[in-house]
Amino acid sequence: MVASVIDGKKIANELHVEIRAKADALAASHGVVPGLAVVLVGEDPASAVYVRNKVKATAECGLKSFEFKLPAETSEAEVLGIVERLNKDPDVHGILVQLPLPKHIDSDKVLGLIDPDKDVDGFHPLNAGRLSVGLPGFVPCTPRGSAILIEKVQPDLSGLHAVVIGRSNIVGKPMAQLLLQKNATVTIAHSRTKDLPAVCRTADILVAAVGRPEMVKADWVKPGAIVIDVGINRITTPEGKGKLVGDVAYAECAEVAGAITPVPGGVGPMTIACLMLNTLDSAYRAAGATV
Ligand SMILES: Nc1nc2c(c(=O)[nH]1)N[C@@H](CN(C=O)c1ccc(C(=O)N[C@@H](CCC(=O)O)C(=O)O)cc1)CN2
DSSP letters, 128-188, are HHHHHHT-S-PPPHHHHHHHHHHHHH-S--TT-EEEEE---TTTHHHHHHHHHHTT-EEEE
Cβ of 243 below 6 Å from ligand 1: no
End-to-end CA distance of the chain: 40
Inter-axis angle of helices 172-181 and 125-133, to 10 degrees? 30
Mean pLDDT over 185-189 rounds to 98
With bands split at pLDDT 50, 70 and 90, how would you rate the model's confidence at 228? very high
Residue 245 located in a structural domain: yes
Residue 41 located in a structural domain: yes
pLDDT, tens only, 29-63: 999 999 999 999 999 999 999 999 999 999 999 99
Cβ of 272 below 6 Å from ligand 1: yes
Please give the pLDDT value at position 1.
74
Let me know: does 205 contact 165? Beta carbons within 8 Å.
no
Number of domains in the chain: 2
Cβ of 50 below 6 Å from ligand 1: yes
The answer to whether residue 152 is catalytic is: no
Residue 128 located in a structural domain: no
Task: Provide the edge-to-edge strand list for the sheet that holds 94-97.
Answer: 64-70, 35-41, 94-97
Residue 54 located in a structural domain: yes
My answer on whether 193 and 229 are in the same domain is yes
Residue 173 located in a structural domain: yes
My answer on whether 148 and 108 are in the same domain is no
Please give the pLDDT value at position 175.
98
Helices marked H in the chain: 8-30, 45-60, 76-88, 107-113, 125-133, 141-153, 172-181, 196-200, 250-253, 267-287
Ligand 1 centre and the CA of 231: distance in Å?
10
Residue nearest to atom 18 of ligand 1 (CA): 268
Whole-number Å distance between alpha carbons of 40 and 281: 23
Residue 4 located in a structural domain: no
pLDDT, tens only, 237-281: 999 999 999 999 999 999 999 999 999 999 999 999 999 999 999
Cα 86 to Cα 1, 111, 191, 233: the distances in Å are 51, 13, 38, 32
Residue 73 reports pLDDT greater than 90: yes
The answer to whether residue 181 is catalytic is: no
Ligand 1 centre and the CA of 163: distance in Å?
22
Higher-scoring residue by pLDDT: 135, 191 = 135
Which ipTM score applies to this complex? 0.96
Residue nearest to atom 26 of ligand 1 (CA): 264
Q: Are strands 64-70 and 35-41 parallel, antiparallel or unpaired?
A: parallel
Cβ of 265 below 6 Å from ligand 1: yes
My answer on whether 70 and 163 are in the same domain is no
Given ligand 1 and candidates 50, 170, 234, which is best to mutate, with the most ligand atoms within 8 Å of its CB? Answer: 50
My answer on whether 94 and 192 are in the same domain is no
Mean pLDDT over 127-154 rounds to 98
Domain encompassing residue 154: 141-268
Catalytic residue (one of 64, 118, 121, 222): 121
Cβ of 157 below 6 Å from ligand 1: no
- CATH number of the domain bearing residue 64: 3.40.50.10860
Q: Which candidate, 33, 34, 37, 38, places its Cα nearest to that of 51?
A: 38
The answer to whether residue 121 is catalytic is: yes
Cβ of 246 below 6 Å from ligand 1: no
Ligand 1 centre and the CA of 255: distance in Å?
27
Secondary structure letter of residue 210 according to DSSP: S
- Report whether 168 belongs to an annotated binding site: yes
My answer on whether 264 and 146 are in the same domain is yes
Cα 73 to Cα 38, 39, 53, 78, 110: the distances in Å are 18, 14, 24, 10, 16
Residue 291 reports pLDDT greater than 90: no
Q: Which candidate, 119, 223, 221, places its Cα nearest to that of 174?
A: 119
Q: ∠ CA(21), CA(272), CA(74), 5° rounding?
A: 120
My answer on whether 195 and 249 are in the same domain is yes
Residue 3 located in a structural domain: no
Cα 257 to Cα 143, 173, 203, 223, 236: the distances in Å are 20, 24, 11, 5, 26
Question: Residue 108: what residue type?
Answer: D
pTM recorded for the entire structure: 0.97
My answer on whether 196 and 264 are in the same domain is yes
My answer on whether 100 and 207 are in the same domain is no
Given ligand 1 and candidates 121, 171, 232, 263, which is best to mutate, with the most ligand atoms within 8 Å of its CB? Answer: 232
- CATH number of the domain bearing residue 191: 3.40.50.720
Let me know: does 198 contact 235? Beta carbons within 8 Å.
no
Residue 20 located in a structural domain: no
My answer on whether 241 and 186 are in the same domain is yes
Q: Which phi and psi angles does 262 have, rounded to 5°?
A: -85, 165
My answer on whether 147 and 235 are in the same domain is yes
Cβ of 268 below 6 Å from ligand 1: yes
Q: What is the mean pLDDT of the chain?
A: 97
Ligand 1 centre and the CA of 29: distance in Å?
33
Residue 131 reports pLDDT greater than 90: yes
